[in-house]
Amino acid sequence: MSDQLKELLAVARDRFGYDELRPGQADAMTAVLAGRDTLAVMPTGAGKSAIYQIPAFVLNGPTVVVSPLISLQRDQLAGLEGVSEPGTAAEANSSMGRKARRNALERMGAGEVEFLFLAPEQLRRDDVRKALANAKPSLFVVDEAHCLSGWGHDFRPDYLLLDSVIESLGHPTVLALTATAAPPVRMEIIERLGMRNPEVVVRGFDRPNIHLAVEQFHEEADKERALLERCVETAGPGIVYVATRKTAESVAEALGERGLRSAPYHAGMAAKRRHEVHERFLGDELEVVVATTAFGMGIDKPNVRFVFHHDVSDSVDSYYQEIGRSGRDGEPAQARLFFRSEDIGLRRFFASGGDLGRDTLLGVAVAVFRRGEDCDPQEIQEVTGLSQSRLTSALSRLQEAGAISVDGSGRPSPVPGADPVEAADSAAAAEESRERVDQSRVEMIRSYAESRSCRREYLLNYFGEQVGGSCGNCDCCEKSGSDGLDERAVPFAPDTRVTHRDWGEGLLVRADADTITVLFDDVGYKTLSLRLLLENDLLTSVQ
């Protein structure tokens, strides 16, 4: 055992009361302690927060934690109570007054704060960036790092500022944490954060205690009736995910009429009301929360017994993170999707976005080039009429096209010699490709819902874990007694690069006896008939 690992185990034991570290934790912590950028992809409940908390007590210098939700920040602050000295963990976010934020930053500069929790939009503030630079953080943590990725299921434009902030701080050790990241999301996280020779730790996607099932319907009324019945007959507490605020309200009311202590949760509710629902659920005062997708991120509630989906998620990534909020205590739990093929239409509509067309991108590029070095983002926003989030996305696309650079405050400037028209064309083409990928991700969740083979194998393959055989704890395996894939029927090994006659290169994600799924670089996921591929010689291995 290395000296570094001994030191980490001592902190884990003395401060946190851990007898041992969980799989993957030690690898990630050791890399962080050695000063190596690290991406840790571990499921909900696997102890990701400890990966930065324990090394922080060994490293010299404060730890900055960027987290997307105030409720999530406060959950993590609460987790540090009792393991650190009072006042050594602080937050700086929009829920606080200016004086309280300034006090937290000043205490960090004075060496009194070890952990500072920030929402990404705070990094636009000059005073925040100056305070961080003066404090010289030793560790920069990006929680819920999938928010960086346009491939991911919860993209947040403000996360696009992080790479320039990290560089402005002299590139302290970067630790990115997420519960769900398929291979393309991992690659984009690494690129967007400018991570240097990162250690990538991927562990434990399999949650064998969660029973997986899908019920299919033709009529909406039949689907809702079945969901309500399952909620009544299944021991809670549980979460029901829905697509719209209106559905959250109506389903919660219907459950209440059936005698369940239930409540809706969505962004249209007042913050005070959302906080009340959050706390009542944590305290087991509510049996069921009916929620849009924001609910659950960061909630440390081990005894959730079921997660039901009234509406299909926008991707396998989203679905897996949402069902991962059940059974965190290791006891049996249920994940059940109530599915109509017509429901996919709503997800296709959202995926078709079209937010950043060529004209929008060209307008932003021309505005930046006209203003040159003295470009003010707020002025660009006024001229273009874009929201801050859309402007941030547009600037990121133009930066990727090599036309502009963006500093840590989000201030853009033109790259000498670049052509704004060519940059807009390039960025628009990239945006169209991203939209095709988004549409393909919707098709992957449809494929999961309609699959007749092992559902657990499907999910694990999607995230890059190649397994075979019956899991014995999903509806498909129970119905068919499936033994999984006969790999002899597939001429391509999993996780290998292949090329298609029309769609170019991609990565083979999964295969069964009849089909294979490939993640193509330019068009996203495609599920293909193995027989047709072989008969027409459409797919070959990349040498």
pLDDT in tens, 63-82: 999 988 777 777 788 778 77
In tens, the pLDDT along 174-199 reads 999 988 777 778 888 898 899 999 99
User: Would 462 be classed as within a structural domain?
Assistant: no
Interval 244-266 mean pLDDT = 95
Give strand pairing partners of 499.
505, 540
In tens, the pLDDT along 383-415 reads 888 887 778 778 878 887 888 887 766 778 888
Please report, rounded to a whole number, the percentage of residues in the chain having pLDDT higher than 70.
90
User: Would 480 be classed as within a structural domain?
Assistant: no
**Tally of structural domains, the chain:** 4
Say which DSSP state 21 is in. Answer: P
How high is the pLDDT of residue 146? 84
Instruction: Choose among 203, 239, 210: nearest CA to 46.
Output: 203
How high is the pLDDT of residue 488? 40
**Is 60 exceeded by the pLDDT of residue 204?**
yes
**Domain check: are 91 and 181 in the same one?**
yes
How high is the pLDDT of residue 486? 44
Amino acid (1-letter code) at residue 354: G
Angle at 130 between CA 127 and CA 135, to 5 degrees: 125
φ, ψ of residue 166 in degrees (nearest 5): -60, -45
**Domain check: are 24 and 146 in the same one?**
yes
**Domain check: are 145 and 68 in the same one?**
yes
For residue 39, give its domain range: 3-202
User: Would 436 be classed as within a structural domain?
Assistant: no
Reading the block at residue 144, the tokens are 């819920």
pLDDT winner (highest mean) among 38-42, 182-186, 421-425, 504-508: 38-42
- 379 vs 51 pLDDT, higher one: 51
H helical segments located in 286-419: 316-323, 344-351, 358-371, 377-384, 388-400
Instruction: Choose among 40, 63, 35: nearest CA to 51.
Output: 40
- 489 vs 435 pLDDT, higher one: 435
**Domain check: are 48 and 188 in the same one?**
yes
Query: Domain of 503: which CATH number?
Result: 2.30.30.30
**Domain check: are 56 and 185 in the same one?**
yes
Which conformational region is residue 353 in: left (phi greater than 0), alpha (psi within -120 to 50 degrees), or beta?
A: left
Interval 30-37 mean pLDDT = 93
pLDDT band at 297 (very low <50, low <70, confident <90, very high): low
Among the three residues 350, 366, 400, which one is the final residue of a domain in this structure?
A: 350
How high is the pLDDT of residue 20? 83
Query: Domain of 322: which CATH number?
Result: 3.40.50.300
In tens, the pLDDT along 310-325 reads 998 888 888 988 998 8
pTM strictly above 0.75: no
Query: Domain of 424: which CATH number?
Result: 1.10.10
**Domain check: are 162 and 311 in the same one?**
no
How high is the pLDDT of residue 88? 84
Average pLDDT score, the chain: 83
**Domain check: are 346 and 368 in the same one?**
no
**Domain check: are 37 and 101 in the same one?**
yes
- 372 vs 169 pLDDT, higher one: 169
pLDDT band at 155 (very low <50, low <70, confident <90, very high): low
**Is 80 exceeded by the pLDDT of residue 226?**
yes
How high is the pLDDT of residue 527? 82
User: Would 218 be classed as within a structural domain?
Assistant: yes
**Domain check: are 161 and 257 in the same one?**
no
Report d(CA 226, CA 223) in Å as an integer.
5
**Is 80 exceeded by the pLDDT of residue 281?**
yes
User: Would 449 be classed as within a structural domain?
Assistant: no
Interval 284-304 mean pLDDT = 83
**Domain check: are 14 and 146 in the same one?**
yes
**Peptide bond connecting 237 to the previous residue in cis, omega within 30 degrees of 0:** yes
User: Would 529 be classed as within a structural domain?
Assistant: yes
Among the three residues 169, 202, 235, which one is the final residue of a domain in this structure?
A: 202
Give CA separation, 72 vs 194, 300, 346, 432, in Å: 25, 10, 29, 33
Reading the block at residue 381, the tokens are 């926003």
**Domain check: are 198 and 66 in the same one?**
yes
**Domain check: are 236 and 381 in the same one?**
no
Report d(CA 134, CA 153) in Å as an integer.
35
CB atoms under 10 Å from CB of 35, counted, come to 12
**Is 80 exceeded by the pLDDT of residue 444?**
yes
User: Would 244 be classed as within a structural domain?
Assistant: yes
In tens, the pLDDT along 455-511 reads 998 888 888 776 766 788 999 998 875 444 444 456 676 677 888 888 888 888 777
Say which DSSP state 415 is in. Answer: P
pLDDT winner (highest mean) among 101-105, 191-195, 367-371: 191-195
User: Would 412 be classed as within a structural domain?
Assistant: yes
User: What would you measure as the largest C-alpha separation in the chain, in angstroms?
Assistant: 70
Among the three residues 308, 328, 350, which one is the final residue of a domain in this structure?
A: 350
Instruction: Choose among 449, 147, 177: nearest CA to 313.
Output: 449
Count CA within 13 A, CB hemisphere, residue 262. Answer: 26
